[in-house]
Structure 1
Amino acid sequence: MITRRIVLAGAVALAFTVSASAQDWKSKYPELTFAVVPAENASGVTERWTPFVAYLSKELGTKVTLRIANDYAAVIEGQRAGNIHIASYGSASFARARLTGVKTDAFANDINADGSTGYYSVFFVKASSAYKSLDQLKGKNLGLVDPNSTSGNNVPRFELDKLGISDADTYFGKVVFTGSHENAMLALSQGTVEVAANQWTNDNDSTLAQMLLKGMLKNADGSPMKKDDFRIVHKSAPIINGPYAYNSDLPADLKAAIAKAFTEAPTKDKAAFDRLSDGQKKGFNPATTKDWDGTIELIKFVDNLRKKKAS
């Protein structure tokens, strides 16, 4: 007969086992590195992510260090080497990591304020320009973000191909990789490029919206630019929000603890969570690596475009 004493003893044994298991991974991983790519300037990334990383340290009971990677490739190679344990990926860079054999698994992505889990790649022009469509921009300068950016390079090239523009580098006068989403919008605002690709969820949730909120974009007379100073001339099909991913080789209980901390963040530390997106996200959606299978096919398509151009 099962007695209360036996049940209690079993519970104590289970708690001891879980505690011992946690101690095992904490001794092996006294510090975890969480890497993000700078969509904005480095100081902005630090201010945005530091409270959340402090929250993770508290929840996991081990030090979590923020690493601001130079670009998407640095995140991919850092996870390949095992120097980065948790990473914030764009969909395309995660697909690239998987395609090149990096042992990384997705566990979550962002939930937008409206409950959706996707965004768009858009082509922006200045509203003061005459351009209303991409076919009016032949010979003009295009600003892209990074070769491994989803909304800033891969999806734009896919969208251009659908419009019959298979080689952006010959269609446009010059194609400029700006390095970050912010830099692409700065290049557009300053006239370095006539059109820029960027990420956009809605008018209040985009790199442009964040930059306007901080007063980063100026007119020639020094006055702050507004949303109406920019126009979208093309919008892609929805793209799945990029994943948060951990190293596949991490202990199962550590991976579970990381996923749990993310899921509970909006209620356990709302201020830190809201800081990540200026209050434009609702939470973290539990995800699996297979959710990005479609993105992997997209990357294969873009790679084939490059091969055709090279040949």
Structure 2
Amino acid sequence: MRTVLLACCCLMLFGALTSFLCPAQAQTRDRLGFGLVATSAPGAVRDRWQPLLDDMAQALGLTVQPTIYDDYAGVIWAMGNGDIQVACVGNKVAIEAVDRAGGEVAFKAVEADGRAGYNSLLLARADSGLRTVEDMFARAGELTYGDGDINSTSGHVIPGHYLFAPRGLEPRTVFRRVVQNNHEENFLGVAAGRLDVATGNSLNLATSTARHPQAAAAVKVIWTSPLIPSDPLVWRADLEPARKAALRAFLLDYGRPGPDKAPERLNREQAVLRGMARAGFQACDNSHLLPVRRMELVRQRSRILADAALPQAERLRRLAAIDKTLQALPEAVD
């Protein structure tokens, strides 16, 4: 009896250690954790994604469990911890997931209009008198600025790269007040007059306009960025090959006609994608992140140069490290 008890204890300990050491394999035999970020109201995000995730669960023969996180850091932590195995995120978050959380870019979204990307925006009240970025900077000292999460590509990184870094500025040093919100909160804050100007993007502006048409009448766009690469889907690199293959087959087929796909099924899948402001998904890899990696490094370089309190030796050391990383980056192929 003592031998049997000892053996059982050893098996239990081994199981616990397996779950701790190999979260992606040990915790997901019949479950797939799918991470999403609340760029708008969490219920709205869930409503947009749930039909696709239900179809995914049926195709893969397992439970697909969505978790919606209030911030981007939560998604990165959850993937690194093995709580989720797949996530739809922005490019900046995908960089963090690849570098810090064992992630790997597997797919990119195709926008509803067929474009390979979307745009970062600056929003202002229609009656504010702000018409251009130059107007905004001229009045910055009296304005409240709605920034995005520091890991938001369109809400923080892209405006920083194109608008603030070339001027050697940081939002908190030029505006009267800076607050951080998700995209829908920025949109509603501008509409209500709580914010004078705020970041957003073309995708979320479309969904927020549909959800809040009266608020949309009070909001205008005063700046549009160059095209940003579409949001990637990231999975854990150590996800089982068979599960990767099943996910790949499902997502690349979803919303696309095929010889064995009934018209009713195709129409329903395409309707689900329209509700997500998407046309489908394409396969890609970590090279998809190269343009945003380069932008983020350039932005970091500008911030170092603008930091008057940084000792010169430390400034030179940091700049040399960034320049070395920039030089080592291959050219974007996505």
TM-score normalised by L of structure 1: 0.80
Higher helix share: 2
1:242 aligns with 2:244: no
Whether the aligned pair in 1 keeps the contact of 2:124 and 2:221 (CA below 8 Å) is yes
CA shift for structure 1 position 169: 1.3
1:261-276 matches, cutoff 5 A: 261-267=250-256, 270-271=267-268, 274-276=271-273
Partner amino acid for 1:36? L
RMSD: 2.2
Whether the aligned pair in 2 keeps the contact of 1:37 and 1:68 (CA below 8 Å) is yes
Name the counterpart of 1:17: none
- In 1, distance between residues paired with 2:133 and 2:180? 18
- In 2, distance between residues paired with 1:98 and 1:28? 20
- The 3 A distance-change label for structure 1 pair 212 and 294 is closer
1:164 aligns with 2:153: no
Partner amino acid for 2:72? Y
Name the counterpart of 1:93: 93
- The 3 A distance-change label for structure 1 pair 53 and 148 is same
1:278 aligns with 2:275: yes
Name the counterpart of 1:177: 180
1:193-240 CA-to-partner distances (Å, cap 9, x unmatched) read 11111111xxxxx322222222x36xxxxxx2445x332221111110
- The 3 A distance-change label for structure 1 pair 165 and 143 is farther
Partner amino acid for 1:123? L
**Structure 2 gap ranges (5+):** 1-24, 257-264, 311-334
Partner amino acid for 1:244? L
TM-score normalised by L of structure 2: 0.75
Q: Name the SS of the counterpart of 1:249 in structure 2.
A: coil
Partner amino acid for 1:245? V
1:194 aligns with 2:196: yes
Name the counterpart of 2:288: 291
CA shift for structure 1 position 278: 2.3
- The 3 A distance-change label for structure 1 pair 34 and 237 is same
CA shift for structure 1 position 57: 0.6
1:86-143 CA-to-partner distances (Å, cap 9, x unmatched) read 00010111122234x3211111111123322111111111221211112222211111
Partner amino acid for 1:193? L
Name the counterpart of 1:208: 205
CA shift for structure 1 position 277: 4.6
Name the counterpart of 2:56: 56
Partner amino acid for 1:177? Q
CA shift for structure 1 position 252: 1.5
1:18-167 matches, cutoff 5 A: 29-99=29-99, 101-137=100-136, 138-139=140-141, 140-161=143-164, 163-167=166-170
1:147-197 CA-to-partner distances (Å, cap 9, x unmatched) read 11010011111111355152221121111101x110011111111111111
- The 3 A distance-change label for structure 1 pair 282 and 164 is same
- The 3 A distance-change label for structure 1 pair 185 and 104 is same
Partner amino acid for 2:174? Y
- Which is worse superposed, 148-157 or 288-297? 288-297
Whether the aligned pair in 2 keeps the contact of 1:95 and 1:299 (CA below 8 Å) is no
Q: Name the SS of the counterpart of 1:266 in structure 2.
A: coil
Q: Name the SS of the counterpart of 2:222 in structure 1.
A: strand
Whether the aligned pair in 2 keeps the contact of 1:155 and 1:236 (CA below 8 Å) is yes
- In 1, distance between residues paired with 2:35 and 2:98? 17
- In 2, distance between residues paired with 1:71 and 1:273? 29
CA shift for structure 1 position 39: 1.4
Partner amino acid for 2:275? D
Partner amino acid for 1:127? A
Partner amino acid for 1:185? F
CA shift for structure 1 position 83: 1.4
